[in-house]
Structures are given as C-alpha cells and as structure tokens.
Amino acid sequence: MIARDRIYVGGEWVASAGTGTIEVVEAATEEVMGSVPEGTADDVDRAVAAARAAFPGWARTPAEERAKWCTRIAEGIGGRMDELATLVSREVGMVKQHSMLIQAGLPYASFSSVAGVVDGFPFEERIGSSLVVREPVGVVGCITPWNYPLHQISAKVALALGAGCTVVVKPSEVAPLNAFVLAEIIEQIGLPPGLFNLVTGTGSVVGEALAGHPDVDMVSFTGSTRAGKRVAELASQRVARVALELGGKSANVILEDADLERAVSDGVGKCFLNSGQTCSALTRMLVPRSRLAEAEEVARRTAERFAPGDPFGEDSRLGPLVSQAQWDRVQGYIQTGIDEGATVVAGGLGRPDGLERGYYVQPTIFSEVRTDMTIAQEEIFGPVLSILPYDSEAEAVEIANDSIYGLAGGVWSASPEHAIDVARQIRTGQVEINGGAFNTLAPFGGFKQSGIGRELGRHGLEEFLEVKSLQL
C-alpha cells in the first residue's frame, strides 16, 4: 500500500482540510494499491493563495534561471525513472518497457527541454515605435488525466514554470500517485515555495474549484471533451484563459501506392498503444476498397502479436485497461460495433483467455465500417480499430474530416510529397507522414472539439505568456 496522507502546498506537506481518502486500484490485479487525500475547495484556496504569493518574484526571475530549476527537476526524474515507470504501469496498466520510454521518459524530456526553448526566445521585441514584451500569464490551474498522468502534468508544469507562471496541479484521482513523486523531487531540489502546488481530489470538487477560482489566471486542461467544455464554461465566467487538449478520433489514411504491410502493421500499433488509451490514437484506418481484404489480413496478423498480459511480463505487448468503468465502456462499444453490422476481423467481446483478473480486453479490429457507425465517430479509448474502405482519394479526405474531432492523423504513400499534400487537407493538429515519430518539441493540440491551444516546445511556452505593448 502506498498511502499518501498529505497534499503539497506552499513548499510544505500539509493535511487536507477534508477527512476523506480516495483509493487507487491497480489495473492488473483489481486490488487497492494506495490512497490519496480527497481534497476540498478550501485546499484549492490555500494552494492558489500560495501560488499567487509566489508569482511576482518568480515572474521577475530571469528565464535562464527558471530553466535551470527545470533542468534540476529533470535530473530528479532521471534518478527515479524505474520507480516512476513501475508506478504508472501499476496505476494505468501500460506495459513496463513502454512506461520507461513514455510514462517516465516524456516527463524527463519536458523538463529537460525548457532550457533550449527559452534560449533565444523573444520575450522582448521592437516593432516600430513599440517595445512588445511577453510576460507570464500568472497562476495556472493544471487539471490532468490518467492515461499519461505524469507526462501530462510535466508538459504543463515545465513550460508554465519556464514562462514564469506558478501552478496548482490537480491530477486524475484514478492515477494520482506518480504526481507525489514529482512533488518530492521538487521539494528535494529546493524549488522556492508556492511555485508548484499539488491538490488531489475529484473533478467535481477540486477540479471545479480550480477552474472557477477567481485568482487562477489560466486553466490548462487535458481530458475528455465533455469535461473540457465544463472547464471552459467555468473559466469563461471570469474571462480566464484556457488551454484544452481533448478527445480524438484520428484517421490513418493509407493511399493506393503505400507499402500496405508496413502501413497497416504500424497503424495497428499506433491504435493499440497504451491499450488504446491514447487521445491521439489512430483509431480509424482508411484503406482503398480494392486492397481491403489484404489490409484485413495484415491487421489480423498484427493484432495476434499484441498478446495481452501482465504489464511486468517480458512477453506482454498489451496491458489491461485502467479501471472497471473503462472495461465496461469498451465492451459496450464492441457490442455496438457488432450490432451495427461491422465485421469482426480480430478479437471481440469478453476477456482474453486465461486473464480473468485485471481489466484486460481482447485487441479488436472491425472492418467494413461506415462513417455513420458509432465506432467510427465516438472515442472508444480502448484497443479497438475501425477499418473504413474508400473508393477515391477525395473520398478518403472527406471521411478523414468527417469527425467532430481533429487531434491527430496519419497519411501513407510511396511519395512523401504526395502524402504531405493529402495531410494538408486533413483538419487536425498533427499528422504523421509514413509513420513519422512523435516530436517532443513540436506543437501538440487539436482542431475542432479536440481543443484549444498547443503544448510542448516553443508553442507550448507561448500558451503561458501574455503580450504587452509599450508605446515609446
């Protein structure tokens, strides 16, 4: 049991104003692995007050000095990588080998990147007779999800601190334990009090209090589109800034001349990453109708290699889902796909053989999916891939854009130039060209109901800055 009985406010571990606790359940065993305080609105008040008090001094600290602190945080993360990867694998279910690279590696990269991002950044520039300065927005409320818990915290906190803001973090109550390790690192390096504050609790209490707090200048939220709309509603009452990174239903367009074996196998992997619990997962695979049977066979063979199992097993490729609620949700979507007439190519309902404990699902692939089907429109958040055939390139683009979301996508072609031309027609925040790798310095965010604003790199820093003109 990992029992955390304090929150982190003003540089100190303090008791919550409330008396409740929230249990954290291990995804692979369904057993309680820890607990955290069930925070209150009073806790948010204390944390925001600490952040507000610390803001003026931090805002005046040179950017290079702020970056050095972020580098020290990165070094602290680097010293606890295995611990963090293990912890997130228990909380979320991602297989350990992936957690080392992603769940621990990306937070390290976020804090490490700050020095390079602020170096040479135009915090001041002359435009005619005006001096235009970029100043930190103020106190930032960071509300984060459970699927990439420490990565989402770090992507916000690192660049907010680099910009000169102070933060109050509300991690997901489903996977909050990793956030306490970050707070310990911050305490151990001696980051000045009040710059980073951590309050655990539910979204309906702590999240709402943070989003609606009059002394929070900006809310940076990652999560479902439904919850993001609520955050935006609360923040709008005081015209506060928001950055929202929300849902996705991303299309992977495989063109006629693509290497189908490579494109389909890569696409299945991109859909199944983190057991499909990824907002930018490529969950819709668009293939030429003339090559549909071939694509189905490649997808089926690829799915067989994603054997579900213990996140700490050497041969495991797919861990469990995060919770019973998520398991029930994914089973419901699989049933809906069957009911609406999609063809099951791999997987289906129920648990994988031999895995009766833990929130495991069968990696599932549907084909002959139409764009009006539920599984082609709604975010499932599980290892469920929909293959949609198309008859022309124009139709493929139309299908790709037939979504309320616009977070990510992919295009495959023997001609990179042709792939880029098609990618420019897809209304999403990022598009992989022939499986291009994730770039931690490139802007991440979406069009349409996938959100507002961008994270990571220079564009992520700019989200936490206000622009002021000094007329000379």
Contacts of 185 (CB under 8 A, 6+ apart): 73, 76, 77, 80
Is 245 catalytic? The answer is yes
Of 224, 174, 148, whose CA–CA distance to 380 is shortest?
Answer: 224
Of 264, 262, 304, 272, whose CA–CA distance to 288 is shortest?
Answer: 264
d(CA 192, CA 51): 11
Of 36, 34, 31, whose CA–CA distance to 21 is shortest?
Answer: 36
Q: Which of 38, 91, 208, 245 is catalytic?
A: 245
3-state secondary structure the chain: CEECCCEEECCEEECCCCCCEEEEECCCCCCEEEEEECCCHHHHHHHHHHHHHHHHHHHHCCHHHHHHHHHHHHHHHHCCHHHHHHHHHHHHCCCHHHHHHHHHHHHHHHHHHHHHHHCCCCCEEEECCEEEEEEECCEEEEECCCCCHHHHHHHHHHHHHHHCCEEEEECCCCCCHHHHHHHHHHHHHCCCCCCEEECCCCHHHHHHHHHCCCCCCEEEEECCHHHHHHHHHHHHCCCCEEEEECCCCCEEEECCCCCHHHHHHHHHHHHHHHHHCCCCCCCEEEEEHHHHHHHHHHHHHHHHCCCECCCCCCCCCECCCCCHHHHHHHHHHHHHHHHCCCEEEECCCCCCCCCCCCCCCCCEEEECCCCCCHHHHCCCCCCEEEEEEECCHHHHHHHHCCCCEECCEEEECCCHHHHHHHHCCCCCCCCEECCCCCCCCCCECCEECCEECCECHHHHHHHCEEEEEEEC
Contacts of 421 (CB under 8 A, 6+ apart): none
d(CA 105, CA 85): 9
Tell me the β-bridge partners of 451. Answer: 245
Tell me the β-bridge partners of 469. Answer: 132
Is 378 catalytic? The answer is no
Q: Which of 208, 279, 379, 455 is catalytic?
A: 279
CA distances, 376 to each of 125, 134, 357 (Å): 47, 42, 30
Residues forming the active site:
245, 279
